[in-house]
Structure 1
Amino acid sequence: MRFLDEVYELYKGHFNGAEEDIVAVIVGLLEEQSHEDLLKLVAEMDEDELFHMLASYMVEVMKRKVAMDDERPSPAILH
């Protein structure tokens, strides 16, 4: 994705490999984008990029849902 290539070139000297740094930069950049800007980024993706983006998102959402279910106390079994 051209957007990520440009972001990487701009920040590559600032990343130290810590995931937190990368997340902070990406989240900060995305927060500055309008809905229309975000849709343009998606429209520029090829089929493989779009597939991987959606798959990654869906996997993470499902993991959060499972984790939330695991944290809830199980309902009492009534006899």
Structure 2
Amino acid sequence: MRFVDEIYRLYKGHFNGDEEDIVAIIVGILEEQSHQDLLKLVAEMDEEELFHMLATYMVEVMKRKVAMDDERPPATLTH
């Protein structure tokens, strides 16, 4: 994806392998984008990129849901 390649080139010296740094930079950049800008990025993706983006997103959301369920106490049955 060209957008990711451009971000990587711009911030290459700032990445130290720490995931928190990468997340902070990406989130900061995305927060500056309008809804239309984000839709344009998606429209520019080829089918494989779109598939991987959605798959990654859906897997992460599902992991969070499972983790939240694991943190909740089990519901008690009442009659």
Q: State the TM-score, normalized to the length of structure 2.
A: 0.95
1:37-69 CA distances to partner (integer Å, 9 max, x unpaired)?
Answer: 000000000000000000000000000111111
Give runs of ≥4 in structure 1 deviating > 3 Å: none
Letter in structure 2 aligned against 1:61: V
Q: Which residue of 1 aligns with 2:5?
A: 5
Q: Which residue of 2 aligns with 1:34?
A: 34
Q: Which has the higher contact order (CA 8 A, sep 6+)?
A: 1
Letter in structure 2 aligned against 1:15: F
The separation in 1 between residues aligned to 2:36 and 2:77, in whole angstroms, is 50
Note the residue ranges of structure 2 that are not aligned, 5 or more in a row.
none
Over the aligned positions, Cα root-mean-square deviation in angstroms equals 1.0
The separation in 2 between residues aligned to 1:23 and 1:49, in whole angstroms, is 19
Q: State the TM-score, normalized to the length of structure 1.
A: 0.95
Aligned residues: 79
Q: CA deviation at 1:78?
A: 4.9
Please say if 1:47 is aligned against 2:17: no
Q: CA deviation at 1:76?
A: 2.0
